[in-house]
């Protein structure tokens, strides 16, 4: 399918060039190049609709409800999914075409993330950790050699990626991390541990942040590409979580792990920039996760409330039920608009607004928890039993209020962005 998606983009290209030439000022066209692959052209709404249909075909075939339920119950990622996602072309949506990517941008990445999340929250979370947190970080910050070495395998699905910044003692306050990277002949030696790392138990390559000069605080952090077959690296344990079960999450240990100089990602002591810029786009793409979960809640609640009869009529004919369904629907649509408007600004104008990346996931995540609770309530007793997916949706949705910075931190990020604007006013 990757090839057919590429063909479809190539065919669509002349039309888009004409449209762009008239719609975007030159300065804006230049802007989107820094966060997009070479030769990137923003997709049209027809491109995005076509992509969405292709992801839906994929999820119908590869992630039916039985696969999603089994992934949750077994708490194990279906490992053959990486190859299938790679064959479909979904693992390199934002990456250069010459390393196998589709160069389609962030709206497209949100489309894939939304539709995968609609099928299975946990498979989609692992997908995003791989394709956004790892692949896109290498795409944005990697040297040509690093891209050539790591991206083809990651995009084909023959290797698995992750990103490790959080530690047991530094989550929200991530720059207080204690993992160190000591300079030695030919590279660095990493010591420390990382906590809650998505794909950590399965990953072949991990973007790891460590302190190269601890005394410099946030200015002494560097990002590294760590091959997990390096001596001294281990996954101490896989975590047993309430939700996102099957998205394998691990605690990682670094016991004198040697990383060669050529595996420094970005600049030495420039890690905080890599981390913070990465976080904006990570929050944006992850905000499509709760969108998919809200749609999944409606996928369950709408047919159920029209089939389930009480007092001689479908429960959906009661106004209290209609009110709940209407609230679910409008919350989903409002969240969707915010996410895609923010992604469109990145793709078409190169504008990455920190407050909107944080705002989109803040809003969508809290609404997804509410919608999944609504779904449980609408289903009554069936909402409370595990044979229906409603409880899984709630358990999965709650993660989005915690991972990629908690709701509290997102509110702080938005407040600080205002402070910056007003300080410069
Ligand atoms: C399933 C899962 C997957 C994850 N995947 C990854 C991954 O792939 N890579 C990675 O690096 N990390 C990952 N994380 C870690 C995640 O980013 C952190 O858990 C998150 O940032 C919160 O950090 P913490 O758990 O240490 O909470 P803490 O920072 O200890 O916060 C505890 C509570 O205090 C609140 N709080 C903290 N500081 C403030 C403040 N100043 N004002 C108000 N409230 C505050 C928080 O909002 C929260 O409610 C994952 C976590 C989970 C659960």
Pairing of strands 309-310, 313-314: antiparallel
Q: Which residues contact 282 (CB under 8 A, 6 or more apart)?
A: 128, 132, 133, 404
Q: How far apart are CA 223 and CA 406, in angstroms?
A: 22
CA dist 237 and 249 (Å) reads: 9
Three-state DSSP class for residue 318: coil
Q: What is the pLDDT of residues 206-257, one digit of tens each?
A: 999 999 999 999 999 999 999 999 999 999 999 999 999 999 999 999 999 9
Does any ligand 1 atom lie closer than 6 A to the CB of residue 137?
A: no
Q: Which atom of ligand 1 is nearest to the CA of 199?
A: 8
Q: Which atom of ligand 1 is closest in space to residue 409's alpha carbon?
A: 47
CB 46 within 8 A of CB 108: no
pLDDT of residue 18: 28
Give the chain's residues under pLDDT 70. Answer: 1-33, 425
Which residues share a beta bridge with 254?
192, 233
Report, as residue numbers or ranges, the catalytic residues.
282
Token pair 């299975």 is found at 120
How high is the pLDDT of residue 215?
96
Query: What pLDDT, on the 0 to 100 scale, is given for residue 5?
Result: 59
Phi and psi angles of residue 403, each rounded to the nearest 5 degrees, phi first: -70, 155
Model pLDDT for residues 176-193, shown as the tens digit of each residue: 999 999 999 999 999 999
Pocket test for ligand 1, best of 197, 406, 408, 415 (most atoms within 8 A of CB): 406
Regarding the beta carbon of 289 and ligand 1, being less than 6 Å apart is answered: no
Q: Would you state the pLDDT for residue 367?
A: 98
CA angle 144, 101, 145 (to 5 degrees): 15
Q: Is 307 in the pocket of ligand 1 (CB under 6 A)?
A: no
Q: What is the pLDDT of residue 276?
A: 87
Decide: 213 and 229 in contact? Cβ < 8 Å.
Answer: no
Structure tokens of 255? 């016991």
Q: What pLDDT is attached to residue 4?
A: 54
Task: Identify which of 199, 254, 409 to mutate to test ligand 1's pocket (most ligand atoms within 8 A of the CB).
Answer: 409
């Amino acid at each position: 399918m990757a090839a057919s998606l590429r063909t479809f983009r190539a065919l669509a290209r002349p039309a888009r060039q004409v449209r762009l030439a008239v719609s975007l000022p030159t300065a804006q066209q230049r802007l989107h190049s820094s966060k997009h692959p070479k030769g990137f052209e923003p997709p049209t709404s027809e491109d995005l609709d076509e992509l969405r249909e292709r992801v839906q075909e994929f999820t119908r075939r590869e992630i039916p409800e039985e696969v999603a339920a089994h992934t949750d119950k077994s708490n194990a990622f279906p490992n053959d999914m990486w190859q299938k996602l790679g064959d479909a072309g979904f693992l390199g949506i934002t990456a250069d075409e010459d390393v196998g990517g589709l160069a389609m941008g962030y709206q497209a990445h949100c489309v894939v993330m939304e539709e995968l999340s609609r099928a299975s929250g946990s498979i989609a979370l692992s997908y995003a950790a791989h394709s956004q947190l790892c692949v896109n970080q290498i795409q944005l910050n990697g040297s040509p050699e690093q891209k050539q070495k790591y991206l083809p395998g990651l995009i084909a699905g023959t290797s698995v990626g992750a990103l490790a910044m959080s530690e047991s003692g530094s989550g929200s306050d991530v720059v207080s991390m204690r993992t160190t990277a000591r300079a030695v002949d030919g590279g660095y030696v990493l010591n420390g541990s990382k906590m809650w790392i998505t794909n950590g138990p399965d990953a072949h390559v991990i973007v790891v942040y460590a302190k190269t000069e601890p005394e410099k605080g946030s200015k002494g952090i560097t990002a590294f590409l760590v091959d997990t077959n390096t001596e001294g690296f281990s996954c101490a344990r896989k975590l047993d979580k309430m939700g996102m079960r099957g998205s394998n999450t691990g605690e990682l240990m670094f016991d004198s792990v040697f990383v060669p100089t050529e595996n420094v990602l970005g600049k030495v002591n420039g890690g905080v920039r890599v981390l913070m810029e990465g976080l904006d786009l990570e929050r944006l793409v992850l905000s499509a996760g709760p969108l998919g979960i809200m749609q999944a809640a409606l996928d369950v609640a709408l047919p159920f409330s029209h089939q389930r009869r009480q007092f001689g009529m479908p429960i959906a004919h009661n106004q209290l039920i209609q009110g709940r369904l209407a609230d679910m629907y409008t919350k989903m649509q409002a969240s969707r608009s915010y996410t895609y408007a923010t992604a469109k600004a990145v793709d078409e104008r190169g504008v990455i607004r920190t407050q909107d990346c944080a705002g989109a996931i803040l809003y969508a995540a809290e609404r997804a928890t509410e919608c999944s609770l609504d779904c449980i309530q609408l289903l009554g007793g069936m909402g409370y039993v595990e044979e229906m997916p409603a409880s899984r949706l709630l358990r999965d949705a709650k993660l989005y209020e915690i991972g990629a910075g908690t709701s509290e931190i997102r509110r702080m990020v938005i407040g600080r962005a205002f402070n910056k604007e007003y300080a410069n006013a």
